[in-house]
């Protein structure tokens, strides 16, 4: 699959790395191939390709958005047309002062992303845990796989993203439509408050038990 990344810092770089190693053609969208962030991502995996943002998005079936929430408008606003029909994976989180919801819980960041790219097929995913957990090598093998919750309105887009989540070693848990993203963003705040403020382990993840289900 052709996958593009807009933003490849703490969150984007490990995901881009692993998806390339799984056999996908992964391109980093950049207007500055000499930037530190590009250099670090390529040091981690030299097989990642580089392309100008519009070209990277045009070629891609799936585009990951892993930029600071405040940068989302600048990052994808100009790419709105190119993103039409693309699966757009929103990894970003609006976090406000005092670890509150950055949009005052009135609407979700993912819905804002959808407004910025109205014809994209937005799926919120890879957002509820710290970046430490996005590197497969940092996750011990447990009998219960850690759950990665995701949501979106387009069932085909969710099937694609669910497949990537599973391939990356997570238990993919579809929690519903994009209107569930506000709840996911509050799960993020719960995690951040427990870990970054409360001192719990950054490798804290949740599992989904389906008791009584045999298949």
Ligand X SMILES: NC(=O)c1ccc[n+]([C@@H]2O[C@H](COP(=O)([O-])OP(=O)(O)OC[C@H]3O[C@@H](n4cnc5c(N)ncnc54)[C@H](OP(=O)(O)O)[C@@H]3O)[C@@H](O)[C@H]2O)c1
Q: Which residues sit at the interface with ligand X, rule CB under 6 A?
A: 6-12, 35, 37, 66-69, 71, 74-75, 91-93, 127, 130-131
Which is nearer to ligand X, 21 or 39 (by Cβ)?
39
CB of 212 to ligand X, least distance (A): 32
Task: Quote the CA–CA distance of 48 and 112 in Å, as a whole number.
Answer: 29
Assess contact for 16 and 5: CB atoms under 8 A. yes
CB of 19 to ligand X, least distance (A): 15
CB of 11 to ligand X, least distance (A): 3
Which is nearer to ligand X, 91 or 168 (by Cβ)?
91
Alpha-carbon Rg for the chain, nearest whole angstrom, is: 16
CB of 151 to ligand X, least distance (A): 15
Which is nearer to ligand X, 33 or 156 (by Cβ)?
33
Which is nearer to ligand X, 69 or 171 (by Cβ)?
69
Point out the residue whose Cβ comes nearest to ligand X.
Answer: 9
Which is nearer to ligand X, 74 or 119 (by Cβ)?
74
CB of 17 to ligand X, least distance (A): 13
Report the DSSP pairing between strands 62-65 and 147-152.
Answer: unpaired
> What are the Cα distances from residue 171, in Å, to 5, 149, 174?
23, 8, 10
Dihedral angle computed from the Cα positions of residues 47, 49, 50 and 53, in that order, rounded to the nearest 10 degrees = -140
> What are the Cα distances from residue 172, in Å, to 54, 99, 185, 191?
30, 26, 17, 18
> What are the Cα distances from residue 190, in Å, to 57, 72, 103, 113?
32, 23, 16, 22
DSSP alpha helices (H): ranges in 36-139?
Answer: 36-44, 53-59, 72-76, 109-116
Which is nearer to ligand X, 68 or 176 (by Cβ)?
68
CB of 190 to ligand X, least distance (A): 13
């Amino acid at each position: 699959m052709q996958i593009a990344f807009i933003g490849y810092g703490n969150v984007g770089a490990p995901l881009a790395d692993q998806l390339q190693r799984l056999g996908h053609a992964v391109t980093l969208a950049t207007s500055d191939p000499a930037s530190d962030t590009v250099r670090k991502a390529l040091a981690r995996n030299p097989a990642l390709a580089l392309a100008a943002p519009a070209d990277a998005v045009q070629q891609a079936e799936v585009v990951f958005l892993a930029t600071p929430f405040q940068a989302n408008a600048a990052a994808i606003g100009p790419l709105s047309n190119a993103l039409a029909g693309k699966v757009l994976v929103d990894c970003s989180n609006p976090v406000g002062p005092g670890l509150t919801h950055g949009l005052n819980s009135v609407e979700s960041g993912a819905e804002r992303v959808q407004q910025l790219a109205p014809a994209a097929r937005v799926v919120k995913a890879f957002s509820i845990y710290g970046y430490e957990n996005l590197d497969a090598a940092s996750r011990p093998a447990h009998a219960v796989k850690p759950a990665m919750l995701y949501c979106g309105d387009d069932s085909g887009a969710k099937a694609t993203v669910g497949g990537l989540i599973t391939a990356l070693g997570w238990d993919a848990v579809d929690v519903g439509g994009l209107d569930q993203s506000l709840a996911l963003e509050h799960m993020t705040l719960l995690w951040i408050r427990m870990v970054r403020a409360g001192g719990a382990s950054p490798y804290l993840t949740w599992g989904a038990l389906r008791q009584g289900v045999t298949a």
